[in-house]
């Protein structure tokens, strides 16, 4: 009932007090372009394979942006849809199944709904069937005005590979919709080419595959490289069409692409054995915020996660709502004791990493006494429980 929501809100006010730092409102009124990078993990950033850069465009782009190099995905079985849920709501996805399927009838206060009150138009652009992940049912609940899906794109065998339309023609065709969109807009682009099983025609392979026993890992590098090229292409178009300077660009990796089944080959690539500690660290995904203006850049090393994206965007747009029900933080003034909780119950702080009932020191990478992780255990558990309660009880019905 509504008293449960009050209890959760009280907890949040204690734990989630937001500071208005100097970045509050720096992007007020600007368009927001959010890009979901399919299956892209942080281990490819600023790295090479066969002597060649894997993400040459992003490596350059992050120098002109804020780049978070300790940023974790927090998804479960709902994969891309879980990432979308986290990003738009600052709530955790569920421990089983996809909340997009199980709770699409709930009341939510997602970013598009909040931004509508501030005059924003919102849309999702993704060249897959609209009912995949039940998106056509969930997006209206988040407040999206329009979903450009498969039927809005010209998809042919020539411009497709693997799961469908390749990322470069996807961004190309999306530009037509973007240029006619009412401004300011909140537009989310969901890429697809770097999806398992990472198929790609030779003509699109800018770099050669890796060599290991895992064909999956081998193929992963050329598809990541292709999506990097697609982003370069998209940013160029944004500049040509005059949208670049009045938009902030948010890029995030949705979830891992290389599962634990490929640990031996991953270890070969990383040059170290994939332990439970490293396997957890491998759940880092790229997170980039580009704000027009030369002074908004730098690498931020605080541990954070997808749950923090909504409060961070609202902060940059100068929208503050103290009572907003959210588990994340504005990433520009994180509390010192911030805990990033993964959906499987593992959690990470700047100093410690907890996974599979073991506590590790982040700096020495060594297992340490559990008492070091103990102070955060309760909070990690509580966050997931409270978030689940909100979803299972449809508690945002009582929010006003």
Residue positions in the annotated binding site for Mn(2+)? Answer: 38, 80, 254-255
CB of residue 191 vs ligand GP9: minimum separation in angstroms? 9
- Binding region for ligand GP9 (CB under 6 A) out of 45-53, 106-114, 188-196, 292-300: 188-196
Interface with ligand GP9 in residues 190-209 (CB under 6 A): 190, 192, 195
Q: Minimum CB separation from ligand GP9 for residue 210, in Å?
A: 21
Give the per-residue contact string, 78-97, with ligand GP9 (x = CB under 6 A; - = no).
-xx-----------------
Q: Residue 69 CB, nearest distance to Mn ion (Å)?
A: 21
Task: Choose between 164 and 305: whose C-beta lies nearer to ligand GP9.
Answer: 164
Active site residues per annotation: 80
Q: Which is nearer to ligand GP9, 79 or 232 (CB)?
A: 79
Asked whether the beta carbons of 216 and 197 are under 8 A apart, the reply is yes
The site partner of 128 among ligand GP9, Mn ion, none (C-beta below 5 to 8 Å per kind) is ligand GP9
Residues of the shown chain interacting with Mn ion in the complex, contacts defined by CB under 5 A:
38, 79-80, 254
**Beta carbon of residue 239, minimum distance to Mn ion (angstroms, whole number):** 27
Closest CA to 2 of 320, 325, 379: 325
Q: Least separation, in Å, of the C-beta of 127 and ligand GP9?
A: 9
Least spacing, CB of residue 193 vs ligand GP9, in Å: 11
Q: Whose Cβ is closer to Mn ion: residue 31's or residue 81's?
A: 81
Minimum Å gap between C-beta 227 and Mn ion is 12
SS3 sequence of the chain:
CHHHHHHHHHHHHHHCCCCCCCCCCCCCCCEEEEEEECCCCHHHCCCEECCEECCHHHHHHHHHCEEECCEECCCCCCHHHHHHHHHHHCCCCCCCCCHHHHCCCCCCCCHHHHHHCCCCEEEEECCCCCCHHHHHHHHHHHCCCEEECHHHCCCCCCCEECCEECHHHHHHHHHHHHHCCCCCEEEEEECCCCCCCCCCCHHHCCCCCCCCCCHHHHHHHHHHHHHHHHHHHHHHHHHHCCCHHHEEEEEEECCCCCCHHHHHHHHHHHCCCCCHHHHHHCCECCEEEECCCCCCCEEECCCEEHHHHHHHHHHHCCCCCCCCCCCCCCHHHCCCCCCEECCCCCEECCCEEEECCEEEECCCCCEECHHHCHHHHHHHHHHHHHHHHHHHCCHHHHCC
Nearest alpha-carbon partner for 309 in 126, 88, 104: 88
* Closer by beta carbon to ligand GP9, 194 or else 340: 194
Contact 323, 9 (CB under 8 A): yes
Tell me which of Mn ion, ligand GP9, none is bound by residue 190, counting a contact when its beta carbon lies within the kind-specific cut-off of 5 to 8 angstroms. Answer: ligand GP9
Q: Residue 58 binds which entry of ligand GP9, Mn ion, none, with Cβ cut-offs from 5 to 8 Å by kind?
A: none
Question: What's the token pair of residue 285?
Answer: 């995904």
Among candidate residues 96, 93, 91, the one with its CA nearest the CA of residue 82: 93
Pick 191 or 387: Cβ nearer Mn ion = 191
Q: How many residues bind ligand GP9 (CB under 6 A)?
A: 7
Which segments are annotated as binding site for substrate? 195
Give the integer Cα–Cα distance in Å for 125 and 176. 11
Binding mask 109-148 toward ligand GP9 (x if CB under 6 A, else -) reads -------------------x---x----------------
Which of 66, 92 has the CB closer to Mn ion? 92
Closest-approach residue to ligand GP9 (CB): 79
Partner whose footprint covers residue 132, from Mn ion, ligand GP9, none (CB < 5 to 8 Å by kind): ligand GP9
127 vs 303 by CB, closer to ligand GP9: 127
Between CA 101 and CA 181, with CA 84 as vertex, the angle to 5 degrees is: 110
Binding site for ligand GP9 (CB under 6 A): 79-80, 128, 132, 190, 192, 195
């Amino acid at each position: 009932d509504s008293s449960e929501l009050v209890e959760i809100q009280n907890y949040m006010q204690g734990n989630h007090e937001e500071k208005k730092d100097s970045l509050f409102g720096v992007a007020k009124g600007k368009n927001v372009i959010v890009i979901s990078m399919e299956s892209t993990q942080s281990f490819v950033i600023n790295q090479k394979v066969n002597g060649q850069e894997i993400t040459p465009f992003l490596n350059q782009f992050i120098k002109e942006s804020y780049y978070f190099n300790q940023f974790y995905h927090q998804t479960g079985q709902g994969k891309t849809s879980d990432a979308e849920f986290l990003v738009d709501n600052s709530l955790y996805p569920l421990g089983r199944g996809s909340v997009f399927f199980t709770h699409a009838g709930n009341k939510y206060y997602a970013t598009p709904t909040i931004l509508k009150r501030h005059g924003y138009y919102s849309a999702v652009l993704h060249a897959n069937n609209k009912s995949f992940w039940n998106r056509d049912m969930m997006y209206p609940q988040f407040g999206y005005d329009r979903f450009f899906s498969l039927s809005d794109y010209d998809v042919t065998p020539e411009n497709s590979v693997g799961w469908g339309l390749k990322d470069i023609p996807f961004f190309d065709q999306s530009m037509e919709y973007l240029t006619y969109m009412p401004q300011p807009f909140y537009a989310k682009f969901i890429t697809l080419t770097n999806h398992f099983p990472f198929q790609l025609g030779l003509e699109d392979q800018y770099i050669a595959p890796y060599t290991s026993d895992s064909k999956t890992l081998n193929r992963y590098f050329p598809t990541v490289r292709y999506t990097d090229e697609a982003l370069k292409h998209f940013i160029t178009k944004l500049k040509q069409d005059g949208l670049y300077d009045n938009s902030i660009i948010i890029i995030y990796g949705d979830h891992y692409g290389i599962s634990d089944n490929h640990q031996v080959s991953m270890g070969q690539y990383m040059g170290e054995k994939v332990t439970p500690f490293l396997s957890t660290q491998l759940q880092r995904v790229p997170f980039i915020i580009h704000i027009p203006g030369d002074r908004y850049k730098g690498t931020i090393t605080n541990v954070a996660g997808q749950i923090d994206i909504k409060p961070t965007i609202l902060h940059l747009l100068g929208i503050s709502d103290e009572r907003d029900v959210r588990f994340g933080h504005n990433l520009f003034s994180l509390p010192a004791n911030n805990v990033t909780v993964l959906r499987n119950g593992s959690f990470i702080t700047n100093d410690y990493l907890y996974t599979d009932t073991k506590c590790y020191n982040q700096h020495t990478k060594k297992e340490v006494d559990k008492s070091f992780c103990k102070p955060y255990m309760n909070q990690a558990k509580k966050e997931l429980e409270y978030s689940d309660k909100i979803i299972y009880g449809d508690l945002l019905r009582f929010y006003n």
